[in-house]
Amino acid sequence: MNKKLVMLLVSLMLIFSLAACSSGSNGGNDPESTNATTEEASNSPAATKANEENTEAGEGEGDSKETPEKDFDMGGRVIKIVNFWSLEIGEDNPDNIQRKKNLEALKKKHNFEVEYVVIDGAEYQKKVTASLLSGEPVGDIISVSRSYTIPALASQDLLWPVDEYTKNDKVFDPDVTNRIMHYNGKGYGFGGYPGGATGFFYNRTLMNNLGMKPLQEYVDEDNWNWETFIQVVKEANKDTNNDGKLDTWGLAGAGVLDAALASNEASLTIEDKQNLDDPKTVEALNFMSRLATERIVRPSEGGDWTEPSQFFRQGNTLLYHGGVYEASGLKNDMKNFDIGFIPFPKGPNGSVFYTADTNPGALVIPKAVPNPEQLIYIWEKIEDYETIYDFPLQGWYESMFTNEDDINNVRLGTNRFYLDNMNTFPSLPYYEFADEINKGQSVSTIIETFKTPFQAAIDEVYKK
């Protein structure tokens, strides 16, 4: 796996996560909240709404998990909200306008002000961490990444546990508190439901020209899995002019290790233990090995990390793995082709379609900050409004795709499967491990070779 490509994907997944935890997910939000090609993202500080299922589940009488109205006076306190772009609420759509009205009413009722603090991304982790360690935090509500927060900051008692304040699952994604930011039995972070997805862009025009079964039918039949995926890739590897060489290919690039793990609900690590010989992990590694040993991926021509996307842009390769934020650029560069989107196929143990998230973000409240319950209450009540959209991020998805199947596929792929790797464990030999898999080396040998160095890298973090 190309190291630069891995690092780019890691950075993009971080942006996905922070956008999810700190920006509204309804349709009118700035689409660049999950677009890494720009320096700024969404300007809304509200946690994302739950998807329709969560909303419907909470609407029954007696089922509400909303916090009852409270009366308290914050004495003119200034609440500092920190991120590496401004989380100030905009007025760019009806939802954000209502969200801002909610904030203004809360400020008047509870006697507080808000300041939005922006710290440059290059220095963000260093400054946030140093401020927490010094007992003088840079803000009251701070965006952080799991990688440098769990276990490091939580284990030093620098953050408030927030489990008891984030029960409203219309606003707060339980996964953020109970999985991503969970340590030693407590949840130290909060955030909203994720938006955006990774999956496969596919060339619908090429698919039709090759006379292939429409890929959408596999999804509709609930038959989009590793086996049908490999079948499709092989089917698109063709010599169309009978010169003895392939001139169309099924897959551009095999750098999909994290996606393969997520699709089988597997992981290389679990908390403070390596997990390489877990049966689900072994299955995912064997799937990756097949991509190499059966030689079904379009061979590299010596390009850099952008080579897979460039292959796809040539119009002669069916599938390219990427994030939905790439849709506009691909379509702009491929105006003569009909480009679709489909989730990463399910593994044998996969229950839904997933997007792998290797460095999720969340919001935390430093232990040095008083009354965390008031801050989370305010955050929750900002989100107490009726959206005008049918589903989260509707406007953004519809700006990229006109085909309803593609939009629905993005929505299917928004489920997150969270994976720790070198972000959490800096010494983890992730690149070397992935390289060996992509070379087609024996999976059992690779596992035995890397179990000890994986555990050593984990121990560095958990046993300092």
Residue 50 has pLDDT above 90, yes or no: no
Residue 464 pLDDT exceeds 80: no
Contact (Cβ atoms closer than 8 angstroms) between residue 6 and residue 308: no
pLDDT confidence of residue 10: 37
- Residue 63 has a pLDDT of 60
Reported as a single tens digit per residue, the pLDDT across 409-446 is: 999 999 999 999 889 999 999 999 999 999 999 999 99
Question: In the chain, pLDDT over 70 holds for what percent of residues?
Answer: 86
Q: What does the pLDDT read at residue 19?
A: 40
Cβ(125)–Cβ(148) below 8 Å:
yes
pLDDT band for position 11 (cuts 50, 70, 90): very low
Residue 49 predicted with pLDDT over 50:
no
**Mean pLDDT of the residues in the chain:** 88
DSSP reduced 3-state for 248: strand
Answer whether residue 457 shows pLDDT above 80: yes
Report the candidate in 426, 321, 416 with the shortest Cα–Cα distance to residue 19: 416
**Between 132 and 47, residue with greater pLDDT:** 132
Q: What pLDDT sits at residue 122? A: 95
Bridge partners for 339 per DSSP: 203
pLDDT exceeds cutoff 50 at 46 = no
CA distance 244 to 241: 8
Say what percent of the chain tops pLDDT 90. 82
Q: Please report which helix (H) or strand (E) contains residue 9, including its range.
A: helix 3-22
Instruction: List, in sequence order, every residue forming a beta bridge with 118; answer none if it has no partner.
Output: 83
Query: Mean pLDDT, to the nearest integer, of 148-155?
Result: 94
Average of pLDDT values for 393-409? 95
Quick one: average pLDDT of 203-221? 98
More confident residue, 18 or 395: 395
pLDDT for 263 beyond 70: yes
DSSP annotation string for 257-308:
HHHHHHHTT--SEETTEE-TTSHHHHHHHHHHHHHHHTT-SPPP-S--TTHH
Residue 324 pLDDT: 97
Q: CA-to-CA distance for 5 and 431, rounded, in angstroms?
A: 11
pLDDT in tens, 383-396: 988 999 999 899 89
Q: What is the pLDDT of residue 92?
A: 86
Q: How confident is the model at residue 463 (pLDDT cuts 50, 70, 90)?
A: confident
Q: Which of 48-57, 129-138, 270-279, 326-335 has the lowest mean pLDDT?
A: 48-57
pLDDT at 53: 39
Angle, helix 443-462 to helix 279-293, in steps of 10 degrees: 130
Stretch 154-165: mean pLDDT: 96
Cα-Cα-Cα-Cα dihedral sign, residues 393, 395, 396, 401: positive
Mean pLDDT of 30-38: 26
Mean pLDDT, rounded, for 71-75: 98
